[in-house]
Amino acid sequence: MKYFIIPAFLLLFGFTSAQKGQVVQVSDEILKSIEVDIWIPFMEAYNESDSEKLKSIHSQNIIRVSLDQNQIQTGEAYLERFGNFVEGTKERGGQIGIAFAILSTALDETEQLAHQSGYYRFSSKNPEDEELVIRGYGQFDVGLKQENGVWKIWLDSDKRIQLSNEEFDAQEIVYKLK
């Protein structure tokens, strides 16, 4: 029996090591294309209250999960509600802003699907405010896919969290408008 313990242990160790696999390195080129296709237009759409720009970065088959509300919304109906939120802010004389801190990026072998997780910082300016005021932070997960050579959000999930500005800004990848 003891002769079988060592080979069994080595076999088990080999299986668990193989399942861990290699860490996929996401190229700077892919990270930059996601930044240009998704995150910069997202921030600009908030800043400019541009619902069409906001809708353009999403897949028409978007799945939106609001964890704080235990709610899932999909497709054009979700995009219309989201667009109305952005446009309504402008109509009320306000402004909104958003910034992103990316914690991780995963990529499939075809480099056509990606997943990113991170934090967002939401800011707004009411008519009586002189500048944008940070209103809160959230944690997000997005599924991204290439559609005609452009990255689109097809899955968007988030929830509000407690986070300090220092913790947000300390992340390696932070996207915010100048």
Check whether 50 has a pLDDT greater than 80: yes
What band does 15 get if pLDDT is binned at 50, 70 and 90? very low
pLDDT attached to residue 5: 52
Q: Which amino acid is at 156?
A: D
- CA–chain centroid gap for 117, Å, is 5
> Is 45 exposed, middle or buried (CB count within 10 Å of its CB: 0-12, 13-18, 19+)?
buried
Contacts of 56-61 spanning 24+ positions with Cβ under 8 A: 57/152, 57/153, 58/152, 58/153, 58/154, 58/156, 59/145, 59/147, 59/152, 59/153, 59/154, 61/154
What is the tens place of the pLDDT at every residue in 52-103? 999 999 999 999 999 999 999 999 999 999 999 989 988 888 999 999 999 9
Domains, the chain, with CATH or none: 28-175 (3.10.450.50)
pLDDT attached to residue 178: 81
pLDDT attached to residue 127: 85
- CA–chain centroid gap for 11, Å, is 39
State pTM to two decimals: 0.85
User: Locate tokens 């069994």: which residue?
Assistant: 8
Instruction: Give the least confident one: 27-31, 77-81, 125-129.
Output: 125-129
- Count of residues in the chain: 178
